[in-house]
Amino acid sequence: MNYLMIHIFICIFFYILRIEPYPEGTSFRAYFLISLWMKVRIKTADGEALFYETAWACAFDFKASEEVIFEPGEFRLIETWTVVEIPAWYVLQTQPRSSTFKKHWLMQTNSVWIIDCDYCGDNDTIKFPYINMIKEKVIIEKWTRIWQWLFSKIERADFELVESMNNQDRWWFWTTGIK
The model's pLDDT over 10-41, given as tens digits with 9 standing for 90+, comes to 666 555 544 444 445 544 444 444 445 788 89
Of 46, 61, 116, 122, which is the active-site residue?
Answer: 116
**Distance between CA atoms of 22 and 5, rounded to whole angstroms?**
16
The model's pLDDT over 84-121, given as tens digits with 9 standing for 90+, comes to 999 888 999 888 888 888 888 898 887 778 888 899 99
**Distance between CA atoms of 107 and 133, rounded to whole angstroms?**
7
Bridge-based pairing state of the strands 41-43 and 83-85: antiparallel
124 noted as active-site residue: no
Domains and CATH numbers, the chain: 1-37 (no CATH), 40-153 (2.70.40.10)
Of the candidates 86, 96, 89, 97, the one whose C-alpha atom is nearest the C-alpha of residue 40 is 86
pLDDT of residue 159: 94
Average pLDDT (48-72) is: 86
Between 163 and 155, the more confident residue is 163
**pLDDT of residue 177 exceeding 70:** no
Least confident span in 28-37, 43-52, 60-69, 158-167? 28-37
The model's pLDDT over 63-83, given as tens digits with 9 standing for 90+, comes to 888 999 999 999 999 888 889
The residues near 3 (Cβ < 8 Å, ≥ 6 apart) are 28, 29, 32
**pLDDT of residue 132 exceeding 90:** yes
- Regarding pTM above 0.75, the answer is no
